[in-house]
């Protein structure tokens, strides 16, 4: 006999929408998706900066159950991705389950259910909580002396202020992760002067961007097997496997190939030897999240772009002062300085069995057994939680696999045979020990700073192959769980 369960999903970004659709597809109606923002889309709602593009191929950054023939280009621009999620919400009939402007401040397990509090005072409860709150949403404001004294306009990349015109302005972009690189590439083609401040130059993997024609789109629409061929084809998955081999074995031929391509890109694309040396990183390729770009080196060589790799001493009312005394007068500063990647569902207070506080469990570092469950937190599941695969992968594929895994864990509860499931502490500890050990040997631990590292400098990432991740998600190791 199946038992009707109530679900609460925290977050209406890519993972939360996935959870909503998959629940709906199973005929489950008793669920609510709480979203702190005023609209859906998560990272694609927050980020609206010029040049925003997803560097995972569009047809792979798409739900398996909602192929989309209409992508305009091989790599989709951010606004299209936002529209895609809106369409999925409508096409799959989950909009009525969304509660926007509803920041979940607390989730507390009372021994049988999760009691959830929303910032506006609303209370709710459910048998199951799905934490789909995303990773990169707490912005990192850099601790640069004098930052508050800047007299011009300043905003973080995830708070881009389009009320501020960039036309004819002197713009400083601080940070050169995937975001800073996309911003500078886009702005370089506009009527403005840019200084790109790079604390650490980045390796750039050359990729080709191209538009899909109307004919391409018509063919995708009339023959979905063309989309499937792109999604499942060797070109994409071969690339993922090679990239993955490189991450987990920094001495592999795959890693050598990545390094060669990045080095060649620098040598052949940047003509001025002085600029070339400025742009040369002093750590290994893919140590930080590898930047895929089809235009950055061109942008860096345009006359309206200056590259500064020195140390910023302070920000003054009129601009940025470097440690060597150089001063850049600026009208606008865009902070492409990334996110605090160790937060996940926090600052929401999550209190599990026996009043365990998630903040205490995660004091050393955030972790979840196979990135999904945490001992002491029954019926609480994470999508894209800590220690999942990161790199240049589709987080949609990752979340879909995690959802299939969660469903299997839920089977005995849905059938009414059991009421709770929780990961065992010994299984969690064993996973953490093996994961941490393996993670140190990945390319991410090869000697650079990045948001992949925990406070002890250990990569907080999935350290094994993507195939191993897919296999782990295919079937939970039931011995790792306690049902009650
Ligand atoms: P990020 O990769 O964390 O880069 C932050 C940048 O800011 C780095 O260059 C960092 O320098 C610099 N920085 C931070 N604090 C600074 C300070 N006090 N002074 C000077 N520089 C400072 O952040 P992001 O570029 O926003 O990207 C975050 C992640 O978002 C990416 O890795 C990726 O996963 C995702 N993303 C994806 C796409 C996509 O196309 N799929 C696009 C954009 C972002 P250091 O390197 O020296 O620390």
Average pLDDT of the segment spanning 147-167: 98
* Angle, vertex CA 165, rays to CA 318 and CA 278, nearest 5: 60
200 in contact with ligand 1, CB cutoff 6 A: yes
Tell which residue, 81, 93, 94, has the closest CA to residue 35: 94
Chosen domain end from 305, 335, 365: 335
Same-domain status, 390 and 306: no
Res 391: pLDDT: 77
Residue 473 Cα to ligand 1 midpoint, Å, equals: 29
Quote the pTM value.
0.97
* 125 lies in the same domain as 211: no
Atom of ligand 1 nearest to the CA of 52: 42
- The Å distance, Cα 179 to ligand 1 centre, comes to 6
The reply to whether 307 and 364 lie within a common domain is no
Compute the distance from residue 306 Cα to the ligand 1 centre, in Å: 19
- Please write the tens of the pLDDT for every residue from 38-97: 999 999 999 999 999 999 999 999 999 999 999 999 999 999 999 999 999 999 999 999
- Render pLDDT for 89-133 as a digit per residue (tens, 0 to 9): 999 999 999 999 999 999 999 999 999 999 999 999 999 999 999
Dump pLDDT digits (tens) for 163-204. 999 999 999 999 999 999 999 999 999 999 999 999 999 999
Q: Is 201 in the pocket of ligand 1 (CB under 6 A)?
A: no
Q: Which residue, among 117, 44, 47, has the nearest Cα to 86 in the 3D structure? A: 44
- Closest to 381 (Cα-Cα) out of 2, 38, 11: 11
Q: Which of 290, 317, 335 is the last residue of a domain?
A: 335
**Whether residue 383 has its Cβ less than 6 Å from ligand 1:** no
Residue 260 DSSP symbol: H
The structural domain count of the chain equals: 2
Ligand 1 atom with least separation from CA of 54:
40
Closest residue by Cα to atom 35, ligand 1, is: 178
Cα 86 from Cα 442, distance rounded (Å)? 37
Q: Which atom of ligand 1 is nearest to the CA of 55?
A: 40
Residue owning the nearest CA to atom 33 of ligand 1: 178
Q: How far is the CA of 161 from the centre of ligand 1 (A)?
A: 19
Answer yes or no: do 313 and 438 share one domain. Answer: no
Distance 335 CA to ligand 1 centre (A): 10
Ligand 1 centroid, distance to 336 Cα (angstroms): 6
Residue identifier of the C-alpha nearest atom 20 of ligand 1: 199
CATH number at residue 195: 3.50.50.60
pLDDT of 426-441, one tens digit each?
A: 999 999 999 999 999 9
Q: Is 308 in the same domain as 272? A: yes
Answer yes or no: is 254 within a domain.
no
**How much is the mean pLDDT over the chain?**
97
Task: Spell out a b/e string for 264-296, using b for 16 or more CB atoms within 10 Å of the CB, else e.
Answer: ebbeebbeeeebbebbebebbbbbbbbbbbbbb
Question: What distance in angstroms lies between residue 9's CA and the mean position of ligand 1's atoms?
Answer: 28
Ligand 1 atom at minimal distance to the Cα of residue 199: 47
398 CA from centroid of ligand 1 (Å) = 22
Tell whether 419 and 325 lie within a shared domain.
no
Ligand 1 atom index nearest CA of 289 = 32
**336 pocket-lining for ligand 1 (C-beta < 6 Å):** yes
Q: Are residues 219 and 275 in the same domain?
A: yes
Beta carbon of 54 within 6 Å of any ligand 1 atom:
yes
Residue whose Cα lies nearest atom 46 of ligand 1: it is: 200
Residue 333: CB within 6 Å of ligand 1?
no
b/e per residue 4-26 (b: at least 16 CB within 10 A): ebbbbbbbbbbbbbbbbbbbeee
Q: What atom of ligand 1 comes closest to residue 180's alpha carbon?
A: 25
- Residue 466: inside a domain: yes
Assess if residue 396 is contained within a domain: yes
Atom of ligand 1 nearest to the CA of 157: 26
26 and 78 co-located in one domain: yes
Asked, for residue 171, whether it belongs to a domain, the answer is yes
280 and 421 housed in the same domain: no
Query: Ligand 1: which atom is nearest the Cα of residue 142?
Result: 18
Question: 177 alpha carbon to ligand 1 midpoint, in Å?
Answer: 4
* Ligand 1 touching residue 77 (CB < 6 A): no
Angstrom CA distances, 321 to 153, 257, 329, stand at 17, 39, 9
Is residue 389 predicted with pLDDT exceeding 60? yes
**What's phi and psi for 90, nearest 5 deg?**
-75, -45
CA 160 to chain centre: 18
Residues 363 and 411 in one domain: yes
Provide the domain limits for residue 470: 7-138+340-483
Q: Indicate whether residue 78 lines ligand 1 (CB < 6 A).
A: no
Chain centroid to Cα 218, Å, comes to 31
Residue 48 has a pLDDT of 97
- Say if 243 falls within a structural domain: no
Whether residues 152 and 276 share a domain: the answer is: yes
Q: Closest Cα to atom 32, ligand 1: which residue? A: 289
Give residue-wise pLDDT tens across range 268-297: 999 999 999 999 999 999 999 999 999 999
In a domain, residue 198? The reply is: yes
Is position 260 within any domain?
Answer: no
Is residue 295 one of the residues assigned to a domain? yes
Q: Which of 309, 335, 361 is the last residue of a domain?
A: 335
Residue 1: per-residue pLDDT: 56
pLDDT digits (tens, 9 = 90+) for 310-365: 999 999 999 999 999 999 999 999 999 999 989 999 999 999 999 999 999 999 99
Is the Cβ atom of 52 under 6 angstroms away from ligand 1?
no
374 and 368 Cβ atoms separated by less than 8 Å: yes
Provide long-range contacts, Cβ within 8 A and 24+ apart, for 87-92.
88/17, 88/21, 88/63, 89/17, 89/20, 89/40, 91/66, 92/20, 92/21, 92/24, 92/25, 92/66
User: Is residue 59 helix, strand or coil?
Assistant: coil
C-alpha 339 to ligand 1 mean position (Å)? 7
Burial of 143 (0-12, 13-18, 19+ CB in 10 A): exposed
Question: Is any ligand 1 atom within 6 A of the Cβ of residue 14?
Answer: no
What is the mean pLDDT of the segment spanning 302-315?
Answer: 98
Q: Omega of the bond prior to 407 within 30 degrees of 0, cis? A: no
Ligand 1 contact, 138 CB (< 6 A): no
With a 6 Å cutoff on the Cβ, whether 209 touches ligand 1 is no
* 125 and 184 assigned to the same domain: no
């Amino acid at each position: 006999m199946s038992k009707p369960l109530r679900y609460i999903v925290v977050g209406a970004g890519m993972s939360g929408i996935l959870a909503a659709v998959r629940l709906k597809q199973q005929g489950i109606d008793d669920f609510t998706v709480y979203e702190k923002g005023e609209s859906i889309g998560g990272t694609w709602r927050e980020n609206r900066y010029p040049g925003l593009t997803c560097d995972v191929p569009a047809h792979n950054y798409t739900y398996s159950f909602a192929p989309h023939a209409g992508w305009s280009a091989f790599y989709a621009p951010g606004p299209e991705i936002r529209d895609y999620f809106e369409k999925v919400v409508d096409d799959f009939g989950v909009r009525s389950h969304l509660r926007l402007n509803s920041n979940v401040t607390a989730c507390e397990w009372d021994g049988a259910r999760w009691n959830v509090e929303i910032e506006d005072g609303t209370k709710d409860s459910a048998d199951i909580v799905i934490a789909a709150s995303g990773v990169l949403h707490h912005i990192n404001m850099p601790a640069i002396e004098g930052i508050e004294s800047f007299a011009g306009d300043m905003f973080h990349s995830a708070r881009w202020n389009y009320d501020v015109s960039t036309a004819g302005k002197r713009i400083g972009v601080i940070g050169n992760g995937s975001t800073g690189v996309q911003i500078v590439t886009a702005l370089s083609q506009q009527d403005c002067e840019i200084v790109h401040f790079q604390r650490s130059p980045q390796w750039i993997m050359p990729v080709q961007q191209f538009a899909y024609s109307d004919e391409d789109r018509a063919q995708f629409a009339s023959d979905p097997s063309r989309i499937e061929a792109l999604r499942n084809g060797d070109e994409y998955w071969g690339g993922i496997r090679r990239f993955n081999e490189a991450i987990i074995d920094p001495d592999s031929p795959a890693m050598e190939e990545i390094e060669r391509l990045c080095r060649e890109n620098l040598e052949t694309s940047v003509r001025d030897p002085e600029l070339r040396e400025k742009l040369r990183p002093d750590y290994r390729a893919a140590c930080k999240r590898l930047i895929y770009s089809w235009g950055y080196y061109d942008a860096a060589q345009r006359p309206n772009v200056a590259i500064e790799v020195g140390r910023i001493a302070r920000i003054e009312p009129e601009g940025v002062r470097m440690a060597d005394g150089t001063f850049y007068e600026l009208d606008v500063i865009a902070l492409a300085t990334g996110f605090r990647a160790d937060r996940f569902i926090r600052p929401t207070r999550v209190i599990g069995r026996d009043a365990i506080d998630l903040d205490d469990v995660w004091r050393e570092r955030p972790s979840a057994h196979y990135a999904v469950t945490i001992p002491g937190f029954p019926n609480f599941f994470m999508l894209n939680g800590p220690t999942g695969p990161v790199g240049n992968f589709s987080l949609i594929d990752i979340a879909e696999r995690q959802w299939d895994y969660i469903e299997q864990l839920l089977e005995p509860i849905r059938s009414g045979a059991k009421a709770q499931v929780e990961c065992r502490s010994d299984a969690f500890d064993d996973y953490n020990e093996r994961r941490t050990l393996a993670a140190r040997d990945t390319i991410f631990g090869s000697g650079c700073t990045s948001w992949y590292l925990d406070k002890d400098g250990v990569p907080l990432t999935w350290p094994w192959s993507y195939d191993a991740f897919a296999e782990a998600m295919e079937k939970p190791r039931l011995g790792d769980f306690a049902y009650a």
